[in-house]
Amino acid sequence: MSLLKIAASVMPSQRIDSVPVSDTWECHTVRCVTRWGRSGAVISVDGELDASNADQLAGFLQQCAAYCEWLVLDLSDLEFIGTAGFSALSTTTGRCSDAGIYCTTVPGQAVTRLLRICDPTNALPTSASVSDALSGVQGLRKVR
């Protein structure tokens, strides 16, 4: 069973039938692919995230989050992330938290390197893998 099917079955809320954002989004050197579940999404980000596209990515993530009870940001294939990218991720996860949306990131090598410098207290929520992140989504059902 695919991870997305597991995630789709986790929370039996209304299905996302009409989502106004595309499944693929690109801006300069960054590309996102969104896989929608029943009550949330896994957004895979690859390329380079820097000052030229960080604000646009934050806007895209907020559009997606508006339709979610949970959001997993898979950054494992991101080749580069600058401090503006970290700020965009921090803002996104903070807004999700304020709205009661479970949000976590799956960092790759580039993100892990930046987090050592910009996030020494581990404030940005992270998961070791998409599978682990979706396990966290499954835990939501038990808590509610």
Tens-digit pLDDT profile for residues 93-121: 999 999 999 999 999 999 999 999 999 99
Q: How far is CA 143 from the centre of its chain?
A: 21
Q: How far apart are CA 27 and CA 33, in angstroms?
A: 12
The per-residue pLDDT string of the chain (144 residues; one tens digit each, 9 = 90 and over) reads 444 444 444 333 444 455 555 589 999 899 999 999 989 999 999 999 999 999 999 999 999 999 999 999 999 999 999 999 999 999 999 999 999 999 999 999 999 999 999 999 999 999 999 999 999 888 775 544
Encoded amino acid at 40, one letter:
G
CB atoms near residue 85 (< 10 Å): 26
Q: Determine contact, residues 35/42, Cβ cutoff 8 Å.
A: yes
Please report how many Cα atoms fall inside a 13 Å half-sphere around the Cα of residue 73, on the Cβ side. 30
pTM: 0.83
Q: How far apart are CA 13 and CA 125, in angstroms?
A: 24
Q: How far apart are CA 64 and CA 31, in angstroms?
A: 15
Q: How far apart are CA 134 and CA 97, in angstroms?
A: 17
Token representation of residue 77: 């294939």
